[in-house]
């Protein structure tokens, strides 16, 4: 199966999320003063009073299409920055800078066609957006979804998802649940909202849907799949890889109240290759 010009298990955004450190690397052509996460506007503090059964961080004008088949992770950074800083940057120049900087911080030495791996994407979100972002490699789909929505709720920051076995990257911008993850562990996620930067370049077989598409959890299961990169074994093989803003302590250990399920679509630590 292919997505545009990119093979799912080995191209466009070699999202290879590292479970350990980002490694060293030059800042590339990026001016730290211009893109330093410390300069980013802080997200508003979450409050239980905000909860009405769902959270939606998306706003019109934040979406941008990836400028090349390989830049899904760079476009993901651009979208998250637009949301967090209430900006409207859609430039190719910014995506090129993000891509170059993140490739310098990859865990694995990957060909240009493989793009940015998860370590690089994590480093990029920490540097350009907020230093609370961490790579999370979950043992199960349910654990990945629960920890992702919990940390989104705790920080009011989007979550990066590696989809198609790591061949592509999406942004989680919201969700609905039976109870507020900010105040209880006893909740079930019912729907999620996702943004895929391939939209505008390609829309085929779900890759990608219109920005902020709402999916049932069952529908998301088709896309958020365990990491698998055919060319070589990687640290998170068989894990469900996400990049989450962690406010205090990780929430990966939160057990599901019961198996997450639901009817198909409502509308809707990755692998080295996928649209970044």
Element (H, E) at 55: strand 54-56
How many Cα neighbours within 13 Å face the side chain of 230? 8
Helix (H, G, I), strand (E, B) or coil at 250: coil
Q: Where are the domains of the chain?
A: 2-18+52-245
Look up the pTM and report it: 0.78
* Closest-CA residue to 182 (of 262, 248, 268, 259): 248
Of the two residues 8 and 247, the one the predictor is more confident about is 247
Taking CA atoms, 101 is separated from 57, 68, 121, 237, in Å, by 26, 16, 10, 25
In the chain, the percentage of residues whose pLDDT exceeds 70 is: 74
Smallest Cα–Cα separation from 96: which of 116, 110, 82, 126?
Answer: 116
Residue 15 pLDDT level (bands cut at 50, 70, 90): very low
CA distance 91 to 67: 9
Domain boundaries 2-18+52-245, corresponding CATH code:
3.90.70
Tokens of 137: 């490699």
Q: Would you tell me how many other CB atoms lie within 10 Å of the CB of residue 36?
A: 13
* 28 vs 32: CA distance, rounded Å: 10
pLDDT of residue 212: 98
Do residues 127 and 34 touch, judged by C-beta distance below 8 A? no
With a CB cutoff of 8 Å and minimum separation 6, the contacts of 184 are none
- Least confident range of 27-41, 103-117, 246-260: 27-41
Residue 250: the pLDDT is 44
Q: Which pLDDT tens digit goes with each residue over 144-192?
A: 999 999 999 999 999 999 999 999 999 999 999 999 999 999 999 999 9
Q: Other CB atoms closer than 10 Å to residue 96's CB: what's the count?
A: 17
Q: In the predicted model, is pLDDT for residue 276 greater than 60?
A: no
Which of 169, 228, 159 is closest to 198 using CA atoms? Answer: 169
88-97, 200-209, 230-239, 263-272: which has the minimum mean pLDDT?
263-272
User: Per-residue pLDDT for 119 more than 80?
Assistant: yes
- Residue 43 confidence (pLDDT): 63
Query: Looking at residue 48, what is its pLDDT?
Result: 87
Report the mean per-residue pLDDT for the chain: 81
Q: CA–CA distance from 245 to each of 117, 122, 203, 219 (Å)?
A: 18, 10, 28, 24
């Amino acid at each position: 199966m292919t997505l545009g010009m990119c093979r799912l298990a080995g191209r466009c955004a070699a999202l290879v999320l590292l479970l350990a450190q980002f490694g060293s690397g030059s800042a590339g052509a990026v001016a730290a003063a211009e893109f330093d996460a410390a300069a980013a506007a802080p997200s508003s503090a979450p409050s239980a009073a905000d909860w009405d059964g769902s959270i939606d961080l998306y706003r019109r004008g934040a979406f941008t299409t990836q400028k090349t088949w390989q830049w899904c992770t760079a476009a993901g950074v651009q979208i998250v920055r637009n949301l967090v800083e209430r900006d409207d940057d859609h430039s190719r120049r910014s995506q090129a800078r993000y891509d170059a900087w993140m490739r310098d911080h990859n865990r694995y030495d990957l060909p240009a066609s493989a793009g940015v791996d998860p370590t690089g994407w994590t480093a990029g979100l920490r540097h350009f957006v907020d230093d609370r972002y961490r790579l999370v490699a979950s043992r199960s789909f349910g654990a990945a979804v629960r920890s992702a929505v919990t940390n989104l709720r705790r920080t009011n920051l989007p979550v990066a998802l590696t989809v198609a076995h790591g061949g592509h990257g999406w942004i989680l911008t919201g969700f609905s649940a039976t109870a507020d993850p900010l105040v209880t562990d006893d909740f079930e996620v019912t729907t999620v909202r996702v943004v895929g930067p391939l939209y505008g370049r390609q829309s085929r077989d779900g890759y990608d849907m219109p920005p902020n598409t709402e999916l049932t959890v069952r529908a998301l299961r088709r896309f958020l799949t365990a990491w698998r990169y055919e060319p070589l074994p990687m640290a998170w093989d068989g894990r469900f890889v996400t990049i989450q803003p962690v406010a205090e302590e990780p929430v990966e250990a939160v057990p599901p109240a019961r198996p997450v399920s639901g009817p198909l679509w409502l509308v809707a630590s990755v692998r080295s290759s996928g649209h970044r």
